[in-house]
Amino acid sequence: MAQVQSGDTVKLHYKGTLQDGTVFDSSEGRDPLQFEVGAGQIIPGLDEALPGMAPGDTKSVTIEPEQAYGDTNPNAIQSVPRETIPAELEIAVGTALQVETTDGRQIPVTVTEINDENVVLDANHPLAGKTLTFDIELVAIGD
């Protein structure tokens, strides 16, 4: 039976959980995820877990932050004066926003703190700094 090698296109079902068991993503009820192994299309730790698997194989893999979305970068957390947030924009802790950089790029941020003077915005990936576990099932190798 064929086994996954770097460069293969694969289809897999997955469930991603945090260390406390919270599910953060899953392919349940959707088509399998399709991508090329080793092409950098998914997080490195998951990419590296696939070679050697055959269709029908299942595996659970725990991935540390450095092989997932990286460690939390304190430089990606900024406190901005509350008056710089448009008054008509309703914000709360957890609100996702887009901010524009000085060079015109749009960056997604999450509101992590609000007080009378400031709003703290975090541009880290929501899963940065977290250890992730994926339960995967290889569905197919090839298109």
Express as a percent the part of the chain with pLDDT over 90: 90
What pLDDT is stored for residue 81 in this prediction?
Answer: 96
Question: Under the phi-then-psi rule, with left for phi > 0, alpha for psi from -120 to 50, and beta for the rest, what region is 76?
Answer: alpha
Q: Which domains does the chain have, with CATH numbers?
A: 9-70+127-141 (3.10.50.40), 74-122 (2.40.10.330)
Q: What is the secondary structure of 81-92 as a DSSP string?
A: EGGGS-TTS---
pLDDT tens for 119-132 read: 999 999 999 999 99
**Residues near 60 by Cβ (< 8 Å), separated by ≥ 6?**
133, 134, 135, 136
What is the residue-averaged pLDDT of the chain? Answer: 95
* pLDDT at residue 137 greater than cutoff 90: yes
What mean pLDDT is predicted for residues 90-104?
Answer: 92
What pLDDT is stored for residue 102 in this prediction?
Answer: 87
Cα–Cα distance for residue pair 60/52, rounded to 1 Å: 14
Q: 93-97 — which CB contacts under 8 Å span 24+ positions?
A: 97/121
Q: By three-state DSSP, how is residue 104 classified?
A: coil
Cα–Cα distance for residue pair 109/126, rounded to 1 Å: 9
* pLDDT at residue 114 greater than cutoff 80: yes
pLDDT tens for 43-77 read: 999 999 999 999 999 999 999 999 999 999 999 99
C-alpha torsion 68→70→72→78, nearest 10 = -110
C-alpha torsion 20→23→24→25, nearest 10 = 150
Q: What is the DSSP letter of 9?
A: E
What mean pLDDT is predicted for residues 72-83?
Answer: 95
| pLDDT confidence tier of residue 82, bands split at 50, 70 and 90 | very high
Longest dimension (CA), the chain: 63
